[in-house]
Amino acid sequence: MNTSSSLYARRRAAVARALKAAGGGVALLPTAPEQSRNRDSHYAYRHDSYFYYLTGFDEPESWLLIEASGKTTLLCRPKNLEREIWDGIRLGPKAAPAALGVDAAHSVERLDTLMPQVLANQPTVWFPFATHHGLQTQVEGWLEQLRAKVRLGVGCPQSQRDLCGLLDEMRLIKDSHEVAILKRAGKISAQAHVRAMRTSAAMLRAGLDAREYHLDAELLHEFRRHGSQAAAYTSIVAAGANACVLHYRAGPAPLKAGELCLIDAGCELDGYASDITRTFPTNGRFTPAQRQLYDLVLQAQKAAIAATRPGKRFMDPHNAAVRVLAQGMLDTGLLSKQKHGRVDDVIESGAYRQFYMHRTGHWMGMDVHDCGDYTEPGTRARQETDATGQTVMRRPSRILRPGMVLTIEPGIYVRPGKGVPREFWNIGIRIEDDALVTAQGCQLLTRGVPVEPDEIEALMRG
Ligand code: GLY
Ligand code: MN
Ligand code: MN
């Protein structure tokens, strides 16, 4: 076993220990299916993150089985010269134990024969609930086969349990291998944002017809030239008013001098995401109104960063950002003091949501919106009032611990409207960085691209 396969073996052993501690059983974990795009074309293959976390293996049609005893089995595509000529080399079951450190490997063609054998006499079958379409039905089919044999003395699992919770807890705290990749991914993505900013200013200086898709192309170029396999999610490149559409994509809209451009883009590197947003003036110079709102979002991000440290809760950075933004909305006249009162009233009423309607962060890791419970396990739900005024039961949010990775991404989005100061119309600003919680506070992994407005202007001049 090489160093990297021993890493996955250690993770599998931790799963086996957790299964044992929870009463035993066997865990079944398929990877992701291939996805058809149109006719006989497929999307580029992307493994299932849980599966990859425990194997480092990225061939489709693979399964991992972990028994509480510690035994691990891989099912994978059999060697097939004809298919390998068209689609590429397959590892094959014979080579899998040495390459991946599993105890046994079989052809996936034997799945339906093997599964009832593996499940026989196990107390519990663990698999990821509600993540793989049809998996529940498949498991039921294998259990039915076992049930038919109980008269012969074969034991059928008495319970089915969700594997996700157990794996989510492991993935929530990143190990040193993961942190190293996340840092590299953050660095590449930051360089891509720098490249896009420079391209925007250079194209406008040269009088070229610059479009959102030109910057999208620059991002992808920078991702790929540093070895990233793909964008971690569809990049947003939003010129002018498009920035107020939260899930906008890069389209053909022109980058106009005097307007802002919001880019939310990050690469995926070796199975790990990065997630950066920067907002910059297309020609490299903020107008006074843009600068006023930009400074406000930046202050909100700084407040959120200060609240991202061990012992704080997941919602503390959000609450810190909201307070700064809400005060800023009153100070800039986005919200009228007469109508909305003071900052506490604006927070209480939720009036700030007219201009800031999303949360300030999410877990990040293998998936850009990574797994992990946002509430503190083992705590009791308490009564709260949600955004719509309804009473809901909520558990307190998660206590931050070293090794967690989350984004910090406040924003402000001003759609034209009655009573909204005209100079702010159609301005959409978000600033997003990825933070690793450390023993002392947090480390930002994505600051290879500046956030200070003067630094952005200087970079775009150069
Ligand atoms: N890029 C996705 C997000 O910021 O949540
Ligand atoms: Mn994000
Ligand atoms: Mn983002």
The string of pLDDT tens digits covering residues 354-370 is: 999 999 999 999 999 99
CB of 457 within 6 A of ligand 1: the answer is no
Mean local confidence (pLDDT), 333-361: 98
Locate the ligand 1 atom nearest the alpha carbon of residue 264 and give its number: 1
Percent of the chain scoring above 70 in pLDDT: 99
The pLDDT of residue 3 is above 70: no
Domains and CATH numbers, the chain: 3-172 (3.40.350.10), 176-461 (3.90.230.10)
| Pairing mode, strands 411-413 and 428-430 | antiparallel
Q: Tell me which of 432, 433, 434, 457 is the catalytic residue.
A: 432
CB of 216 within 6 A of ligand 1: the answer is no
SS3 392: strand
Grade residue 384 by pLDDT with cuts at 50, 70 and 90: confident
| CA–CA separation, 57 and 8 (whole Å) | 10
Assess whether 394 carries a catalytic annotation.
no
pLDDT of residue 385: 78
Q: Which tens digits make up the pLDDT trace of 420-449?
A: 999 999 999 999 999 999 999 999 999 999
Locate the ligand 1 atom nearest the alpha carbon of residue 407 and give its number: 4
Name the token pair of 22: 């929870």
Lookup result for tokens 């705590």:
379
The pLDDT of residue 143 is above 80: yes
pTM of this prediction? 0.96
| Residue 88 zone, left/alpha/beta (φ > 0; ψ -120 to 50; rest) | left
Name the token pair of 346: 């604006």
pLDDT of residue 313: 98
Q: Where are the beta strands (DSSP E) in 201-254?
A: 230-231, 236-239
CB 255 within 8 A of CB 212: yes
Mean pLDDT taken over the chain: 97
Mean local confidence (pLDDT), 315-328: 98
- H/E element holding 67? strand 63-67
Q: Taking the C-alpha atoms of 422, 424, 427 and 428 in order, what is their torsion angle to the nearest 10 degrees?
A: -130
Residues 6 or more apart whose CB falls under 8 angstroms from that of 54 comprise 8, 11, 12, 15, 29, 64, 66, 167
| CA–CA separation, 138 and 36 (whole Å) | 21
pLDDT of residue 245: 97
